[in-house]
């Protein structure tokens, strides 16, 4: 690769990182945000994830950028899956898993260089598929109808007794939503009547047709391939993802990856045009090869044994926000494996593709644990739990009511305590006194859960 006077390439995976910044003290409105979980260790990506063309892209860019290699990798994989479109898939029973992925980069505003990763990967796809890059990458979604509009079918209406074409629709049904202010999407979802959540869920599922029941929105989209690449800060994510997003399956359709600046480069440089052309042409070749067929891709016999070994662990459930967010582990992993296989132009998902996919999933799982820890997704229960964790002496129910300035109904407090008790996160003791016994609540040590 011609470096055009750029410094020699260091080891692409040997880089220093900044310490993750501390949590912000305010939500910008003069009030304290809900307490966060006890942070888990910073997630690490296993080198197995940097396999094939995706690894070549990351290792080529990394010496000249402050972007996190995890961000570069996910940006490339999500972009590739959408550029390929709705064709080859993995068949799990009767469910088709396409390569359309939803990913969220979680990191500090500006300091994590989330947007830098997108700006680095973009030029490669501008070479690989210029029409896709120009027409199919959008941002600023605010409603389900808006998503459908960008991949809508043609629309006919009866005029003067004859059907007339009113809207020719969109012929290219690929859509990558580049949402660098993901908190706005989560805020829009909370508005009454907003259709974002169900349409996004249907899009990830690969439903044959996307539509809403809104009376004044006749648009439908058949055979759409919708992917999402989003950015958000830790505080915004903790504050905006609520129990509704947890319960309805919205959050678990996303991969969450913690990212931060990989290094300090006061004079970071652009890749040479020749290098971008090389990576773009290699990506173009894989896209065109993947688009030649629309049948399912199976898992090779050598890959079936390790898949069988990890499947039960991936499919196991649990309680709390972290468990719900990671509850589509097996589906996410097999979609990632599909992408790695397509990037290799392979006929089957082999062991190396599965290992790469598992490496990405484990990093995203660790990221979810780092962000959400033992949060349960209910603001009342989370505040009680975090307060109990700080008080080894326990709290009475009166103390807990006082925690909310006695403004939260008794039923809400009891429901939150009941949930924490069932989840094994708190324990309850009755202490005898000279008169009426006293009920005490304690947090269960995390290593005892």
Mind listing the pLDDT tens digit for each residue in 196-206? 999 999 999 99
Tokens of 389: 């964790």
pLDDT-based confidence at 447, cuts 50/70/90? Answer: low
Do residues 142 and 249 both lie within one domain? yes
Do residues 398 and 358 both lie within one domain? no
pLDDT-based confidence at 171, cuts 50/70/90? Answer: very high
Quick check: is 21 in a domain? no
Quick check: is 20 in a domain? no
Do residues 170 and 255 both lie within one domain? yes
Quick check: is 301 in a domain? yes
CATH number at residue 434: 1.10.10.10
Q: What 8-state DSSP symbol labels residue 393?
A: T
- What average pLDDT score do residues 209-215 get? 83
CATH number at residue 77: 3.40.50
pLDDT-based confidence at 73, cuts 50/70/90? Answer: very high
| Domain end residue (candidates: 352, 372, 392) | 372
- What average pLDDT score do residues 20-27 get? 36
Quick check: is 384 in a domain? yes
- What average pLDDT score do residues 107-115 get? 73
Give pLDDT, residue 417: 87
Asked if pLDDT for residue 53 goes beyond 70, the answer is yes
Asked if pLDDT for residue 11 goes beyond 50, the answer is no
Quick check: is 361 in a domain? yes
Distance CA(334)–CA(349), nearest Å, equals 9
- Mean pLDDT across the chain: 85
Give pLDDT, residue 215: 65
| Domain end residue (candidates: 346, 372, 398) | 372
Given CA atoms 53, 176, 373, 115 in this order, what sign does their dihedral have?
Answer: positive
Do residues 295 and 190 both lie within one domain? yes
Asked if pLDDT for residue 6 goes beyond 90, the answer is no
Do residues 415 and 346 both lie within one domain? no
Tally of domains within the chain: 2
Give pLDDT, residue 446: 62
Highest mean predicted confidence (pLDDT) among 231-235, 254-258, 365-369, 432-436 = 254-258
Do residues 256 and 384 both lie within one domain? no
Quick check: is 7 in a domain? no
- What average pLDDT score do residues 186-190 get? 87
Q: Which is nearest to 333 in space by CA: 297, 360, 308, 298?
A: 360
Distance CA(204)–CA(221), nearest Å, equals 14
pLDDT-based confidence at 381, cuts 50/70/90? Answer: confident
Quick check: is 13 in a domain? no
Tokens of 159: 């005029």
Do residues 393 and 318 both lie within one domain? no
Do residues 345 and 418 both lie within one domain? no
Asked if pLDDT for residue 25 goes beyond 60, the answer is no
- CB-CB contact of 446 with 391 (8 Å): no
Do residues 396 and 361 both lie within one domain? no
Range of the domain at 124: 47-372
Distance CA(337)–CA(310), nearest Å, equals 14
Do residues 364 and 385 both lie within one domain? no
Question: Can you tell me which residue has the tokens 């058949």?
Answer: 222
> Tens of pLDDT along 141-151?
889 999 999 99
Q: What are phi and psi of 256, to 5 degrees?
A: -105, 125
> Tens of pLDDT along 318-364?
667 788 889 999 999 999 999 999 999 999 999 999 999 999 999 99
pLDDT-based confidence at 110, cuts 50/70/90? Answer: low
> Tens of pLDDT along 263-311?
888 887 889 999 999 999 999 999 999 999 999 999 999 999 999 999 9
Highest mean predicted confidence (pLDDT) among 89-93, 191-195, 368-372, 389-393 = 89-93
pLDDT-based confidence at 39, cuts 50/70/90? Answer: low
As a whole-number percent, the residues of the chain with pLDDT over 70 amount to 86
Which residue stretches of 138-272 are H helix? 144-149, 182-189, 196-205, 234-240, 243-247
- CB-CB contact of 35 with 235 (8 Å): no
Highest mean predicted confidence (pLDDT) among 24-33, 44-53, 233-242, 319-328 = 44-53
Give pLDDT, residue 135: 97
pLDDT-based confidence at 15, cuts 50/70/90? Answer: very low
Give pLDDT, residue 30: 41
3-state secondary structure string, the chain? CCCCCCCCCCCCCCCCCCCCCCCCCCCCCCCCCCCCCCCCCCCCCCHHHCCHHHHHHHHHHHHHCCCCHHHHHHHHHHHHHHHHCCCCEEEECCEEECCCCEEEEECCCCCCCHHHHHHHHHHHHHHHCHHHHHHCEECCCCCHHHHHHCCCCCEEEEECCEEEEEECCCCCCEEEEEECCHHHHHHHHCCCCCCHHHHHHHHHHCCCEECCCCCCCCCCEECCEEEEEEEECHHHHHHHCCHHHHHCCCHHHCEEEECCCCCCCCCCCCCCHHHHHHHHHHHHHHHHHHHCCCCECCECHHHHHHHHHHHHHHHCCCCCHHHHHCCCHHHHHHHHHHHHHHHCCCCCECHHHHHHHHHHHHHHHHHHHHHHCCCCCCHHHHHHHHHHHHCCCCECHHHHHHHCCCCCCHHHHHHHHHHHHHCCCEEEEEECCCCCCEEEEEECCHHHC
Comparing 371 with 222, the larger pLDDT belongs to 222
Which residue stretches of 136-254 are H helix? 144-149, 182-189, 196-205, 234-240, 243-247
Question: Can you tell me which residue has the tokens 């603001």?
Answer: 379
Do residues 291 and 395 both lie within one domain? no
Do residues 353 and 440 both lie within one domain? no
| Domain end residue (candidates: 372, 388, 417) | 372
């Amino acid at each position: 690769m011609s470096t055009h006077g750029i410094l020699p390439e260091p080891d692409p995976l040997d880089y220093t990182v900044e310490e993750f910044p501390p949590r912000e003290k305010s939500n910008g409105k003069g009030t304290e945000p809900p307490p966060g979980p006890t942070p888990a260790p910073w997630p690490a990506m296993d080198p197995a994830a940097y396999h094939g063309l995706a690894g070549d892209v990351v290792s080529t860019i990394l010496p000249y950028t402050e972007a996190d290699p995890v961000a570069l990798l996910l940006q490339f994989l999500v972009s590739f899956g959408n550029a390929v479109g709705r064709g080859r898939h993995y068949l799990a029973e009767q469910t088709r898993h396409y390569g359309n992925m939803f990913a969220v980069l979680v990191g500090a505003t500006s300091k994590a260089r989330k947007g830098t990763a997108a700006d680095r990967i973009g030029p490669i796809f501008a070479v690989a598929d210029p029409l896709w890059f120009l027409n199919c990458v959008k941002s600023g979604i605010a409603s389900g109808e808006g998503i459908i509009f960008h991949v809508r079918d043609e629309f006919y209406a009866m005029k003067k007794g004859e059907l007339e074409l009113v809207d020719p629709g969109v012929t290219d049904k690929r859509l990558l939503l580049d949402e660098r202010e993901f908190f706005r999407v989560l805020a829009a979802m909370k508005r009454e009547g907003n259709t974002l959540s169900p349409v996004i869920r249907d899009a990830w599922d690969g439903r044959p047709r996307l539509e809403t029941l809104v009376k004044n929105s006749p648009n439908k989209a058949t055979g759409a391939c919708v992917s999402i690449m989003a950015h958000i800060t830790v505080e915004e994510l903790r504050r905006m993802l609520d129990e509704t997003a947890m319960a309805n399956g919205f959050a678990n359709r996303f991969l969450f990856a913690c990212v931060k600046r990989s290094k300090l480069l006061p004079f970071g440089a652009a890749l040479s045009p020749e290098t971008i052309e090389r990576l773009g042409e290699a990506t173009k070749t894989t896209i065109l090869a993947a688009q030649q067929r629309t049948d399912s891709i199976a898992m090779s016999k050598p890959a079936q044994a390790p898949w069988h070994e990890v499947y039960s662990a991936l499919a196991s459930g649990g309680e709390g926000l972290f468990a719900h967010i990671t509850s589509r582990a097996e589906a996410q992993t097999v979609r990632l494996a599909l992408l790695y296989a397509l990037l290799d132009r392979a006929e089957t998902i082999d062991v190396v593709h599965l290992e790469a996919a598992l490496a990405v999933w484990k990093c995203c799982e660790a990221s979810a644990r780092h962000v959400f820890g033992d949060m349960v997704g209910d603001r009342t229960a989370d505040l009680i739990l975090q307060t109990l964790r700080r008080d080894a002496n326990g709290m009475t129910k009166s103390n807990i009511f006082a925690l909310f300035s006695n403004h939260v109904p008794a039923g809400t407090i009891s429901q939150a305590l009941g949930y924490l008790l069932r989840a094994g996160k708190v324990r309850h003791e009755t202490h005898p006194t000279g008169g009426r016994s006293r009920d005490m609540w304690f947090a269960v040590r995390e290593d005892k859960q």
